[in-house]
């Protein structure tokens, strides 16, 4: 009782115990369910493979027997003795006996044949290896005679079952005849060769395989079946009739329910209109699996009981540190457990800790927020010069630098800002700004006193107190520090930063004016590239070079190179022009770029006015692309792209365009019609009213493969998708993607993917 009371008084301990137990039960339940499901699926697949192998072997035997008997029938039909017996009007008995003896040798030399019968339509006589010399005896007790006179159209060279009430199973006969003379040759096989073989298989596999039998297309068996352990034949006949009418030649399914549930598999013979069927009781196939499940379930139950018992001990050991901490925080001893509040132990500890820390955290947070907000507001006023703070206001802020010494303004500009803004959420932008400002303050403050404040979206302002150090020393140290800052931000946040350093000023009232100069200098990132450090000395010549004149000789040379299509000359003159831009003022650089775009557009307009073949370019898009760039290098490549686009349109062969359209059209036709068995290069050429040679040549020229190879690639790709996503049989998938020859399909599939379709499906199932 004390043990139960101990656990009831500890709410967190009960949660811990319940969590461990529930997790363990959930894990065992899920794993057991997956194990049982996978065992069902694996057993069904193994059984399917075994059944299809047996049915395939029977199908092979039947097809082999059919081809053998067919060859015998054809060769016998044209035998001189048979021709003689088929056309003789008056028969000599001695000669008849001699010719029948020769036919008996043919029968005796074959393990399949039972009888050869010749029907002479002129005399109405039968001559059979099993009959007497009476010509009215067909050798089969009148079965052949009855069938011949009851049928208008007798199938040729295929097995026909012949029934009588006295026969335990039908005789299988193959007819071959001449429609003109109506003489017939009838070859019957030993039915026992086939039906006894099936009976023996059913006997030897009794209780395991169920029943194996042969039906026609409508599902009607060729011989009576013993249905003691499987469902009625009506259901089987209906299923086979439905599947065969849908064009399915092989399938595997589970039918029925309860004790009548069974596994039905079938395959169709290509030589006859027969279906070989296997019907097995579901409960027998799954008997051993059920025993395994019972044993597994018993083991899991025992393991679960032991796990729950073990979890009691583990949970209590995990709980001990919580109990000790609770006693320290609340001052409550173990024996006073029942007097605790309704909160669990962690809630009690958390509440006590929060009560102690709340006021301290609140006070520190308010003080820090107010201090940072005041400092940021004052810095932005200094930089923007909206209203300069008074001396008293400056003294109220807790600065990390001395504003009475030499000051320097630096601008940190985010490179590729348009891309950064499009790929970053507002929350992420705030995080990046916070991180960049903190890293900048931490690194730069190691060498000089500084303050950092974000301005707008794409840049930060860094204020530095240089003190009384010489200009050369502080610039060198600052440049080294800022390079380290750029590398750190790039390494941790993948952000490239361009830095613009300003001149030193003596009073904080000059900061705003200096900020404008430094921000203007940052535009020279256009020349020096992303991630550069721009100093006043570096851009002094550019800022002084305010006059602008677009080089006249450059206009002439670029015009001539563009009109003549000389790419090398165009690139050379473009290089010279862009080198000239690097010494210009920033405003003049942008004007020169726009002037060059306008020049190219005018040249294209002039060329179009003098030729029938027009050049069509979207110069508005090129202007937009140019204005987005932050450096000269990508702008230079934009002009090279414009030149190439112009020359491509001027030199493009209309015939080549037509051939490309032809190739694209053929590919679309193949994608849409790959299921068509008759799809080929010839059918495609006929549909497009072009010669096969021309279509084949142009397609291979553009795609480097022949049309037939491309068709096979598309079909095999579709087959692979169906194998992965659908549970269709291999034969059905083969037919769905446009093949009707299984061996050819397997050959192509293995050549492309290295394994057969069956091996690929088995591999996929195992991986799942």
Q: Does 22 have pLDDT greater than 80?
A: no
Question: Across the beta sheet with 407-414, what order do the strands follow?
Answer: 449-455, 459-465, 407-414, 497-505, 533-534
Q: Does 325 have pLDDT greater than 90?
A: no
Report, as an integer, the average pLDDT of 685-708. 88
Q: Does 629 have pLDDT greater than 70?
A: yes
H/E stretch holding 221: none
Q: Say how far apart CA 375 and CA 392 lie, in whole Å.
A: 14
Most confident range, picked from 100-109, 344-353, 661-670, 733-742: 733-742
Report, as an integer, the average pLDDT of 456-467. 83
Q: Say how far apart CA 112 and CA 68 lie, in whole Å.
A: 9
Report, as an integer, the average pLDDT of 693-699. 88
Please report the DSSP string for 602-638 in residue order: HHHHHHHTT-SS-----HHHHHHHHHH-SSHHHHHHH
Note the pTM of the prediction, 2 decimals: 0.43
Listed residue (516, 505, 511) closest to 543, CA to CA: 516
Q: What is the pLDDT of residue 195?
A: 66
Q: What is the pLDDT of residue 524?
A: 93
pLDDT interval class at 337 (50, 70, 90): very low
**Can you give the C-alpha Rg of the chain in angstroms?**
47
CB 495 within 8 A of CB 414: yes
Q: What is the pLDDT of residue 355?
A: 64
Per residue in 236-262, pLDDT (tens digit) is 777 777 777 777 777 777 777 766 677
Burial class (CB in 10 A: 0-12, 13-18, 19+), 550: middle
Q: Which residue has the higher pLDDT, 538 or 646?
A: 538
Q: What is the pLDDT of residue 352?
A: 64
Average pLDDT, the chain: 79
Q: Does 407 have pLDDT greater than 50?
A: yes
Tokens for 129, please give them. 């290896």
pLDDT interval class at 533 (50, 70, 90): very high
Q: Does 210 have pLDDT greater than 70?
A: no
Listed residue (662, 647, 668) closest to 702, CA to CA: 662
Bridge partners of 453, per DSSP, are 461
Q: What is the DSSP letter of 252?
A: E
Inter-axis angle of helices 536-544 and 511-521, nearest 10: 80
Q: Does 714 have pLDDT greater than 90?
A: yes
Q: Does 58 have pLDDT greater than 60?
A: yes
CB 501 within 8 A of CB 520: no
Q: Does 289 have pLDDT greater than 50?
A: yes
Q: What is the pLDDT of residue 713?
A: 93
Listed residue (361, 381, 372) closest to 512, CA to CA: 381
Distances (CA, A) of 414 to 440, 556, 661: 13, 38, 45
Report, as an integer, the average pLDDT of 493-517. 88
Q: Does 473 have pLDDT greater than 60?
A: no
Distances (CA, A) of 618 to 11, 610, 639: 73, 20, 13
Q: What is the pLDDT of residue 78?
A: 85
Per residue in 177-200, pLDDT (tens digit) is 877 777 888 888 877 666 666 666
Report, as an integer, the average pLDDT of 677-704. 88
pLDDT interval class at 471 (50, 70, 90): low
Tokens for 440, please give them. 């900048």
pLDDT interval class at 534 (50, 70, 90): very high
205-285 topology per CATH: Beta-Lactamase (3.30.450)
Q: Which of 102-106, 389-393, 718-722, 755-759 has the least mean pLDDT? A: 389-393
Q: Say how far apart CA 535 and CA 540 lie, in whole Å.
A: 9
Q: Does 333 have pLDDT greater than 70?
A: no
CATH 3.40.1440.10 fits 399-529, yes or no: no
78-193 topology per CATH: Beta-Lactamase (3.30.450)
Q: What is the pLDDT of residue 53?
A: 79
Distances (CA, A) of 744 to 101, 679, 741: 45, 16, 5
Burial class (CB in 10 A: 0-12, 13-18, 19+), 759: middle
Q: Which of 161-170, 628-637, 690-699 has the least mean pLDDT? A: 161-170
H/E stretch holding 756: none
Q: Does 559 have pLDDT greater than 80?
A: yes
Listed residue (534, 378, 372) closest to 459, CA to CA: 534
Listed residue (766, 669, 752, 668) closest to 717, CA to CA: 752
CATH 1.10.10.60 fits 655-767, yes or no: yes
Calculate ∠ Cα 227-232-237, nearest 5°: 115
């Amino acid at each position: 009782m004390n043990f139960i009371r101990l656990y009831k008084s500890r709410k967190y301990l009960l949660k811990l115990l319940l969590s461990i137990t529930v997790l363990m039960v959930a894990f065992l339940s899920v794993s057991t369910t997956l194990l049982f499901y996978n065992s069902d699926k694996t057993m069904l697949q193994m059984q399917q493979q075994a059944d299809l192998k047996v049915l395939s072997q029977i199908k092979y035997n039947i097809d082999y027997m059919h081809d053998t008997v067919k060859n015998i029938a054809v060769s016998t039909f044209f035998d001189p003795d048979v021709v003689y017996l088929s056309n003789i009007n008056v028969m000599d008995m001695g000669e008849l006996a001699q010719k029948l003896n020769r036919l008996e040798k043919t029968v005796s030399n074959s393990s399949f044949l039972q009888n050869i019968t010749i029907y002479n339509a002129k005399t109405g006589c039968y001559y059979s290896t099993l009959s007497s010399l009476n010509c009215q005896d067909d050798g089969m007790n009148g079965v052949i005679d009855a069938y011949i006179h009851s049928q208008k159209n007798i199938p040729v060279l295929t097995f026909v079952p012949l029934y009588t009430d006295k026969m335990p199973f039908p005789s299988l006969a193959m007819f071959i005849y001449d429609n003109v003379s109506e003489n017939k040759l009838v070859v019957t096989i030993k039915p026992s060769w086939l039906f006894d073989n099936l009976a023996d298989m059913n006997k030897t596999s009794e209780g395991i395989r169920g029943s194996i039998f042969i039906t026609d297309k409508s599902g009607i068996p060729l011989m009576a079946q013993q249905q003691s352990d499987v469902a009625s034949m009506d259901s089987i006949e209906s299923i086979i009739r439905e599947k065969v009418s849908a064009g399915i030649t092989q399938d595997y399914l589970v039918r029925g329910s309860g004790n009548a549930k069974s596994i039905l598999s079938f395959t169709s013979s290509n030589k006859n209109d027969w279906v070989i069927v296997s019907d097995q009781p579901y409960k027998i196939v799954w008997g051993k699996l059920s025993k395994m499940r019972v044993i597994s379930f018993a083991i899991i139950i025992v393991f679960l009981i032991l796990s729950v018992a073990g979890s009691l001990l583990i949970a209590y050991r995990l709980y001990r540190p919580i109990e000790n901490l609770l006693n320290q925080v609340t001052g409550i001893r173990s024996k006073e457990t029942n007097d605790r509040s309704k909160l669990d132990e962690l809630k009690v500890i958390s509440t006590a800790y929060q009560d102690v820390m709340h006021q301290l955290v609140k006070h520190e947070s308010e003080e820090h927020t107010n201090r940072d907000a005041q400092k940021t507001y004052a810095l932005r006023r200094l930089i923007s010069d909206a209203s300069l703070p008074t001396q008293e206001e400056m003294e109220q802020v807790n600065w990390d630098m001395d504003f009475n010494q030499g000051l320097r303004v630096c601008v940190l500009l985010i490179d590729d800002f348009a891309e950064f803004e499009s790929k970053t959420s507002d929350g992420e932008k705030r995080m990046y700004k916070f991180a960049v400002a903190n890293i900048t303050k931490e690194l730069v403050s190691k060498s000089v006193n500084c303050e950092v404040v974000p301005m707008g979206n794409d840049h930060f302002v860094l204020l530095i107190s240089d003190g009384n150090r010489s200009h050369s020393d502080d610039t060198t140290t600052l440049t080294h520090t800022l390079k380290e800052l750029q590398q750190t931000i790039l390494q941790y946040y993948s952000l490239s930063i361009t830095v613009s350093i300003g001149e030193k000023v003596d009073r904080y009232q000059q900061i705003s004016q200096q900020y404008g100069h430094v921000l203007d200098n940052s535009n020279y990132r256009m020349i020096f590239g992303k991630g550069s450090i721009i100093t006043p000395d570096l851009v002094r010549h550019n800022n002084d070079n305010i006059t602008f004149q677009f080089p006249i000789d450059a206009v002439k040379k670029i015009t001539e190179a563009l009109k003549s299509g000389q790419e090398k000359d165009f690139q050379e003159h473009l290089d010279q022009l862009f080198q000239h831009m690097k010494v210009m003022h920033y405003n003049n650089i942008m004007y020169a770029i726009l002037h060059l775009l306008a020049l190219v557009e005018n040249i294209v307009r002039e060329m179009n006015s003098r030729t029938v073949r027009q050049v069509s370019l979207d110069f508005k898009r090129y202007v937009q692309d140019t204005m987005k760039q932050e450096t000269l290098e990508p702008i230079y490549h934009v002009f090279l792209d414009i030149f190439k686009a112009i020359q491509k349109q001027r030199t493009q062969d209309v015939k080549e365009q037509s051939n490309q359209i032809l190739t694209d059209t053929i590919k679309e036709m193949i994608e849409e019609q790959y299921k068509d068995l008759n799809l080929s290069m010839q059918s495609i050429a006929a549909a497009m009213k072009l010669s096969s040679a021309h279509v084949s040549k142009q397609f291979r020229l553009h795609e480097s493969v022949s049309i037939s190879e491309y068709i096979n690639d598309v079909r095999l790709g579709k087959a692979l998708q169906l194998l992965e996503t659908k549970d269709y049989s291999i034969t059905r998938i083969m037919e769905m993607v446009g093949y009707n020859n299984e061996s050819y399909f397997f050959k192509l599939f293995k050549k492309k993917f290295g394994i057969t379709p069956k091996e690929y499906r088995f591999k996929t199932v195992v991986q799942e």
